[in-house]
Amino acid sequence: MNPEMIAVGLDIGTTKIVAMIGRKNEYGKLEIVGMGKAKSLGVHRGVVTNITQTIESIKQAVEEAENESGLAIKSVVVGIAGQHIRSLQHSDYIIRQNSDDVIEDKDIDSLIQNVHNLVMLPGEEIIHVLPQEYKVDGQAEIREPRGMYGSRLEANFHIVVGQISSIKNIGRCVKSSNLNVADITLEPLASAEAVLSQEEKEAGVVLVDIGGGTTDVAIFKDGIIRHTAVIPFGGNVITEDIKEGCSIIEKQAELLKIKFGSAWPGENKENEIVSIPGLRGREPKEISLKNLSKIIHARVVEIIEQVYLEIKNYGYDENKKKLIAGIVLTGGGSQLKHIKQLVEFVTGMDTRIGFPNEHLASESDDEFSSPVYATAVGLVLKGVSKNQTNEISVVDPNNDSHPQTFKSAPQPETTPQEPTDQTPTEPSEEDEESPNEKPEHRKGFLENWADKFRNFLNDDL
């Protein structure tokens, strides 16, 4: 197995923790060579609430993935989400000292640094600063200002903010599981990588990832992420409603939701009944499927209305903000029967279910094509497409105590980089390129923040 294209994604969710190992084949498709999953007992709505239990779940998932693949995992690409994530829009500008010089990387760095200096709420930290469009001396809708003349450089930014303590807790869990953080990304961005096409991102699309504890929303337009939000409701809340409404235990409520649940009550007749075994010799309990659907319908409508509110906050009714590609549902909650039709009814927007199978090799197990694993697949895709070193140890069956360690060589980006989605870095004198050398790859905003995050963890943990 060629170790150069291998990456490991670690999805720390509310209901499950997934460790997925994948590699790109000769056709550029993703082959999943190993996956492990464990029940997530220490995470609530995307936030770590029990460090010990989360570490145990991570270790269990990683061990299962290692046994299936024959590889010893050293570093992972981690997804970050949770109810502590919020976003805001901000405009900022700088006045350049010499307008006779063209705009360079240092000018954009200075503008971005202004945004990073914004005062957040106590305990919060800016995670991502994503530029939308630039203005140069009042001229708007500029994608790439480098090389232009101007004295005033201005930009609109989408800023993603999270709680420092929640971020550090995730880092502690990963490091305490004897793993290194190779990269980190927002989970809705990872899910988007797995299920959205570039055409959809250009046309305007809403990604809705319905997880167990939260529903993540990411809106793309003109190939740029425009709006993000985390709604603190997910599939677990639906299960809890069924449990309370039908007076049954949680395990039975989850099975009812998966096997017989529907988001559209009109599909069930009054006489459709399912029998639930009684507890400890008690009589079986009969549940009306019509009532079950009414319970599910009420909660799903609440989640969809919250999503629709975020779409309205983005301003999709403006001509320049039209979302032609509609809504793409993914995550475990998207598998609920008739949820696509309900979303279309409530929002009036075209809707489809997002499967990550477009990027997977044809011989991949059907299980990996499920929307449940969209985030994990996206994290692996992020890993194999980044110019970074991921350590993977190949276990020698004859000598498990001395595994052979490979380091993946830096790989070129598999998709074109957006001009507005990059943070330029100022080259040092000794790194200046000669005329015969190829231009050095500029790190994107997410890569720069991932570097900052790793240093942050190493300094504080």
pLDDT band with cut points at 50, 70 and 90 for residue 416 = very low
Q: What is the pLDDT averaged over residues 72-89?
A: 87
Q: What is the pTM of this model?
A: 0.79
pLDDT band with cut points at 50, 70 and 90 for residue 421 = very low
Q: What is the pLDDT averaged over residues 135-144?
A: 86
The whole-angstrom distance between residue 452's C-alpha and the CA centroid of its chain comes to 19
**Mean pLDDT: which of 5-19, 51-65, 77-91, 159-173 is highest?**
51-65
How far, in Å, CA of 275 to CA of 418, rounded? 55
Q: What is the pLDDT averaged over residues 232-237?
A: 92
Phi and psi at 162, nearest 5°, equal -145, 165
pLDDT score for 125: 86
| pLDDT at position 247 over 60 | yes
| pLDDT at position 442 over 90 | no
Determine the 3-state secondary structure of 271 from DSSP: coil
Q: Is 103 left (phi over 0), alpha (psi -120 to 50) or beta?
A: beta
| pLDDT at position 399 over 90 | no
pLDDT score for 253: 93
How far, in Å, CA of 108 to CA of 130, rounded? 12
pLDDT band with cut points at 50, 70 and 90 for residue 387 = very low
Q: What is the pLDDT averaged over residues 74-97?
A: 87
Tokens (6 digits) for 249:
């235990």
pLDDT band with cut points at 50, 70 and 90 for residue 345 = very high
| pLDDT at position 415 over 60 | no
- Burial code (b: 16+ CB inside 10 Å, e: under 16) for 48-80 equals bebeebbbbbbbbbbbbbbeebebbbbbbbbbb
Determine the 3-state secondary structure of 389 from DSSP: coil
What ranges do the domains of the chain cover?
Answer: 235-294
Determine the 3-state secondary structure of 6 from DSSP: strand
Q: What is the pLDDT averaged over residues 65-70?
A: 93
Residues facing residue 275 across a β-bridge = 286
Residue 196, CB-side half-sphere exposure with 13 Å CA sphere: 33
**Mean pLDDT: which of 133-142, 155-164, 178-187, 306-315 is highest?**
306-315
Q: Tell me which CATH homologous superfamily contains domain 235-294.
A: ATPase, nucleotide binding domain (3.30.420.40)
Indicate if the alpha-carbon torsion angle 413, 418, 419, 424 is positive or negative.
Answer: negative
* Percent with pLDDT over 90 in the chain: 43
